[in-house]
Amino acid sequence: MNIARINLSKGTITVSKIPSDLKPYIGGKGIATKLLFGILPKVDPFHPDNAIIFGIGPVNGIRLSGASRVTAVFKSPLTFGYGESQCGGYLAYEMKKAGIDFLYITGKARKPVYISVEDRNIEIKDASHLWGKDSYETEEILEKEEGGEILSIGQAGENLVRFACINHRKGRQFGRGGAGAVMGSKMLKAIVVKGSGEVEVADSDRLREFRKWMLENVVSKLEGMKRYGTLGIANLTNEAGVLPTKYWERGSFEELEKINAEAFDRYTEKSTACYGCAVSCGKIRKAGDVEVEGPEYETLYAFGPLCYNSDAESIFRANDLCDRYGMDTISAGNVVAFYMACSERGEVDERVDFGDSNAILELLKKIAFRQDIGDILAEGSKIASERMGVSVEAVHVKGLEPPGYDPRGLYSMALAYVTSHRGACHMRSCAYRPNLTGAVDRFSVDKQAELVKDLEDFYCVVDSFVFCRFLCLPVIGMYWQDIARLYEIVTGNSVSVEDLKKAGESIWNLTREFNLREGVVDENLPSTFFRPVKHYDRELVVRKEDFDRMVEKYRSLRGL
């Protein structure tokens, strides 16, 4: 594995082999997390000394469903602790062909720049002509000037919106935690990667067999994903009473049929896929003059039910604005809905009602450019609530706003939100799925701690490979034995399930250690979730004593 170290302050670039002592951390997330300890403790996320590290793993670059993802690790400007995000598309394949497994970027350029990677030839180039442009415009210009695969930030990243994201192929993102703002703080507008090398595997015959096995045993179970993308889960969460609505006041949305998967299906133009993937979960949809890849379930939840909005076209436009400006739709939708809740209580000067679809779009523009109230909301819910001095509780864990799964009806998520080191997150464990399918009782404390720990360790390995969640979903996807087999096929090195489990646990411990070093120790669940919501004839709530029991059991399993 090769690492390129780029210091934008000094303009220096070095390429070297990954030190041998990092190999136990597999690749991707594991190695990038270990490298992150090279930054100074307690450094401000926007200081030049913060790093952003892009990494791939041992299975990337091969033609196989799920094997085309890249991980990014950084100190988060939203949580001031461990930040990470993953992105699909074609970048992993291009990095593998270029022979660069990790990009370790520090410093701050004196003027806007972009990084060009062509095989192992790396340059820092002037991006003055790109600064101020949205991510779509930036990508179009660089496609003509450079070609290759492109990462870029929009105006939100330039303006240091704390939940700014990094965009790829006009629809793929390093979404959560503020990676785009870290790039913006470095005056780094984009990264272009071009490779000409060959991607080799240890046993191509076994890989063909494995690909066939995946199609028959994993991809075949993702028919809903293939048809609708991630939107298909909305009906299920709504029926279960766990679809966050009206800024966490309710667990279901009575007008969901106007914006569910079936409603959006009529806008679908075509499907799109990451490199080599048979699932094709991406959906290009068009409404009026707006065409987006999406909306994904999380975008739907954040700008739909959470904002009490059933206007489908406005969700398209919100999706489009976030993609162009470069903002995480989960955090953006949460801060907009938070402001609406404050407005409903009469605690802000500018009134914005729940369900006001035009106001959603106006607020997004103000946030991206830090105009008026947008300058405060650009700080994220936690900081914004502190500065505004309102009575509405900002719903977050460690500063990161939650995704579209209300833990009052999913006990696994009540635990998983606080044990995730990047903050309230569903992807660190995907434990909502065993709860929703009934594999683990969603209203019981039993087995939740065991479930969350095992899946957290598993996905630490998956993100170090770096592999796609959708091919490794709990209950229906690949699991420990399957990824061990894939590792051997690709690398030629045998690994036991037990060894992989130890590696996953050690990587999880690294992320915890980084947060402890940075003083991020918050393990509190927002008090909102200890208050009930009505769903049909029952009340859904996280009982404090149940939550404490799950945490106690989890800490025991972790040896904490």
pLDDT for residue 340: 98
CATH fold of the domain at 407-558: 1.10.599
pLDDT tens string 133-177 = 999 999 999 999 999 999 999 999 999 999 999 999 999 999 999
Q: Across-strand partners of 71?
A: 55, 86
The pLDDT tens digits of the residues spanning 345-399 come to 999 999 999 999 999 999 999 999 999 999 999 999 999 999 999 999 999 999 9
d(CA 462, CA 88): 14
The yes/no answer on whether domain 2-194 falls in CATH 3.40.50.10420 is no
* Domain 225-364 top-level CATH class: mainly alpha
Distance (Å) of CA 136 to CA 133, 168, 332, 493: 8, 9, 19, 41
Three-class SS of 191-241 = EEEECCCCCCCCCHHHHHHHHHHHHHHCHHHCHHHHHHHHHHHHHHHHHHC
Whether 49 contacts 39, CB under 8 Å: yes
Give CA–CA dist 496/499, Å, rounded.
5
| CA distance to 31, 67, 100, 251, 413, per residue, from 57 (Å) | 9, 9, 11, 38, 28
DSSP 406-443: -GGG-HHHHHHHHH-TTSS-STTT-THHHHHHTSS-TT
Domain ranges, ordered by start, for the chain: 2-194, 225-364, 407-558
Q: From the centroid of its chain, how far is CA 106?
A: 22
Summary mean pLDDT of the chain:
97
Residues (pLDDT < 70) of the chain are: none
End-to-end CA distance of the chain: 33
Task: Report pLDDT for 537.
Answer: 84
Is 328 in contact with 322 (CB distance < 8 Å)? yes
Cβ pair 303, 318 in contact under 8 A? yes
- CB-based contact 400:335 (threshold 8 Å): no
Q: Are 430 and 412 in contact (CB under 8 A)?
A: no
pLDDT at 523: 83
pLDDT of 115: 98
Q: pTM for this structure?
A: 0.98
Half-sphere exposure of 311 (CA within 13 A, CB side): 15
* pLDDT for the residue numbered 124: 98
User: What is the spatial distance between Cα 437 and Cα 193, in angstroms, rounded to a whole number?
Assistant: 41
Per-residue pLDDT, 256: 98
Same fold, 225-364 and 407-558: no
Please check whether residue 130 is in contact with residue 113, taking contact to mean a CB–CB distance below 8 angstroms. no
